[in-house]
Amino acid sequence: MSEDKSSSTHFGYKTVESEKKADMVADVFHSVAAKYDIMNDVMSFGIHRLWKRFTIETAAARPGMKVLDLAGGTGDLTAKFSQLVGEKGEVILADINDSMLKVGRSKLRDRGIVGNVNYVQANAEALPFPDNHFDIITIAFGLRNVTDKDKALRSMQRVLKPGGKLLVLEFSKPQHDLMRKVYDMYSFKILPKMGDIITQDAGSYEYLAESIRMHPDQETLKQMMIDAGFEQVDYTNMTDGIVALHKGYKF
């Protein structure tokens, strides 16, 4: 069920008014945008590159396809999709946060990635695209920051073509007790200190750790995707479920 916009929601462990969450999340990403890529490498020990590679392989993008990289941030997935869809294809890097979008655009243009990539500032809950438009939508490490996740999933379902595929790459729930304990210690004790050293912003990484704990677990997100109209929904756990890749189709 969608959240009432006049109601409260979670910002990490805090309870806040729903209409204020987007601005609070925006402040986090304005703060960390310039060092976002460095922090991704440091805090995941580079493993995020393997998670994203698996996402690209699962997407199976082909020449001529239209791809939406939603909450695409600094453009890691967009860069690879641009190569895969070729000159006749199109990739849209969309993000609600203009600071992240600017970093992504600069990074990709510096790498010579132009022509088949466009940049759109967009809210996942109300995507500004036509119905039945994209062959593939990916949202990597972005869904947990969305205020109304059900509304966002329905919006993604609307803009997918029949036969199109949604891939949700997101932090999830470790499967074993030992991993959970180690992960909790790392997330709440070490990660904020890394954030403080690298970005001078421990608070944003405290929010990151908390937002992961508040995000729906693997089975809950699977059911949310089904409720939004996706079919053949399944997921793959990676790194013991610290991250999961959910996949669903529109028919």
Tokens of 229: 């109209």
End-to-end CA distance of the chain: 22
CB 60 within 8 A of CB 81: no
- Show binding-site residues: 74, 95, 123-124
- Show binding-site residues for S-adenosyl-L-methionine: 74, 95, 123-124
Q: How confident is the model at residue 100 (pLDDT cuts 50, 70, 90)?
A: confident
Residue 23 backbone dihedrals phi, psi, to 5 degrees: -70, -35
pLDDT > 50? residue 197: yes
> Each residue of 64-97: pLDDT tens digit?
999 999 999 889 999 999 999 999 999 999 999 8
149: Cα separation from own chain's centroid: 12
C-alpha–C-alpha distance, residues 197 and 72, integer Å: 25
Residue 169 backbone dihedrals phi, psi, to 5 degrees: -100, 120
- For the chain, the average pLDDT equals 88
> Each residue of 218-228: pLDDT tens digit?
999 999 999 99
pLDDT > 50? residue 3: no
Q: In the prediction, which pLDDT does 4 show?
A: 46
> Each residue of 182-193: pLDDT tens digit?
989 988 888 878
DSSP symbols for the chain: -PPPTTSEEEETTEEEEHHHHHHHHHHHHHHHGGGHHHHHHHHHTTTHHHHHHHHHHHHT--TT-EEEEET-TT-HHHHHHHHHH-TT-EEEEEES-HHHHHHHHHHHHHTT--SSEEEEE--GGG--S-TT-EEEEEEES-GGG-S-HHHHHHHHHHHEEEEEEEEEEEE---SSHHHHHHHHHIIIIIHHHHHHHHHS-HHHHHHHHHHHHHS--HHHHHHHHHHTT-EEEEEEEEGGGTEEEEEEE--
**What are the chain's domains?**
8-174+207-249 (3.40.50.150)
> Each residue of 159-182: pLDDT tens digit?
999 999 999 999 999 999 999 999
Q: How confident is the model at residue 2 (pLDDT cuts 50, 70, 90)?
A: very low
Q: How confident is the model at residue 18 (pLDDT cuts 50, 70, 90)?
A: confident
Closest CA to 228 of 160, 128, 130: 160
Question: Considering all CA atoms of the chain, what is the largest pairwise distance in Å, rounded to the nearest integer?
Answer: 48
Q: In the prediction, which pLDDT does 143 show?
A: 95
Q: In the prediction, which pLDDT does 5 show?
A: 44
User: Which of 34 and 60 is assigned the larger pLDDT?
Assistant: 60
User: Which of 24-38, 167-181, 189-203 is least confident?
Assistant: 24-38
